[in-house]
Amino acid sequence: MPGRFGIGDLGASAYEFADFLFSAGQKLWQVLPLNPTGYADSPYQCFSAFAGNPMLLSLERLRELGLLQESDLDRTQSPPFPEDVVDYGPVIDFRMAALRRAARVFFADGSRADRAAFDSFCESASPWLDDYALFMTCKDAHRGAMWTLWDPRLRRRDPQAMNELSTRLAPELKAYKYWQFEFFQQWEHLKTYCQQRGIRLMGDVPIYVAHDSADVWAHPELFYLDDQGRPTVVSGVPPDYFSATGQLWGNPIYRWDLLAATGYKWWIDRFRASLALFDMMRLDHFRGFESYWEVPAGETTAIHGRWVKGPGEDFLSALQNACGELPIVAENLGVITPPVEKLRRQFGLPGMSLLQFAFGTDPQGPSFRPHNYTRDLVAYTGGHDNDTTVGWWSSSGAGDSTRTPEDVRKERNFARAYLNLSDDAEINWTMIRAVLSSVADVAIVPLQDVLGLGSAARMNLPGTLSGNWKWRYRPGALNDDLSARLRSLVTLYDR
């Protein structure tokens, strides 16, 4: 989102976006994971599966609360932040300095009511908050090193060593807790604003967690690790549309047998935390709960992996028994087998369909074509791993996938015929109309496609380690013409 301080946040631009959705007749806002990002700034490699990302805190709200002064937000002596991308290094440095000042002022001058609210939050969130705050404080004390490289006593969570560090770095520990307190307050306020306008919020629950995270550090017994805390097997997927060598994600693999022995407590806690934030969730890599691709640690590609049976019905039954009806959208993309679809349908979970995959050589291509859609589906023009629709249509296409130039040519010709595309048609709006006019219960359009942006606005290119998760839309991009155009389509197709 736009904003003064280099990255979209929970401030004015978020409310302006909600107003745009309302005026455009939209009823669902899907977001990527909101957790604190780590390696390569990816929301799928986070320091915690429970915490919120402090980079998303509105500094202007903190100023309104008297915790920051306008001078704390002054960047007139520094180069301006770019408008259309996030330059993470300078953004993190600037925002962390402001957040540290806000925490100092809160603990020095906060009202009795505010401090009581903070204490209440810390108590209710303690099952994950204490570990997260201690993990981040330890990480800072070790200059950002991953936890397997820390002092052995802290790596092993020796109680005396942790108590000593907690005492010595008490202000830093409290600051991390305060930022979480403020994050959940700001998010709840935005969520209420959206609810008042009939807009539901859809979150994203990644199947795996980062190795360098509070989750793995605090619960190493739940993952396949050696005695030094290093993974013995890691996550990924076999060769696919995006890569001939597969995707090597590198996350540690769960010990599902031990999770089952606890009644899947960690996952149930995680799911309940997500339910408190969102109205519904996209469950990432759903097929991994039926069978997952396991790669030996040390491999440089995902080719030499194997399929391992996942927790399946037992796991989803435990979630359902603990949480009731599961408001989940199953991300069932990739190598999908009949047992995966059987599991999804058994629990009544809608699947996903990406229109960009409808016209190529993928054996599942026919299922992505709107005339084959079913009701229990969430239809997209494309997803966060895809190029934008304009980029997909106008580029050679072969560089970001396993397609050959001939594959791309045939795909274009088929798409042109299927969509009845005239030479002067806007491909993004033609694709938007196709998913909105389908029988799928839900249709979601990436904002880049609404804005008609090309490959420069792509969110992520799988298999690359830098340059992703940076895109921002420019101020003024969400205008009345766009709003009216979207509203006319959702009215036309009863959405």
Which residues carry out catalysis? 284, 331, 385
CA distance 281 to 256: 22
316 Cβ contact list (under 8 Å, min separation 6): 289, 326, 343, 346, 347
Beta bridge partners, 281, equal: 203, 328
Q: Identify whether the C-beta of residue 217 lies closer than 8 Å to the C-beta of residue 256.
A: no
Residue type, 125: A
CA distance 407 to 419: 18
Do strands 247-252 and 306-309 pair parallel, antiparallel, or not at all (unpaired)? Answer: unpaired
User: Rounded to the nearest 5 degrees, what angle is found at the Cα of 60, between the Cα atoms of 57 and 64?
Assistant: 115
**Dihedral sign computed on CA atoms, order 23, 26, 28, 32:** negative
Q: Identify whether the C-beta of residue 308 lies closer than 8 Å to the C-beta of residue 324.
A: no
CB-side neighbour CA atoms (13 Å) of 343: 24
Helix (H, G, I), strand (E, B) or coil at 444: strand
- For the chain, the helix, strand and coil percentages under 3-state DSSP, each to the nearest 5: 50, 10, 40
Specify the residue for token string 């994971």. Answer: 33
CA distance 354 to 343: 20
DSSP 157: T
Helices (H), 143-169: 152-155, 159-168
CA distance 100 to 91: 14
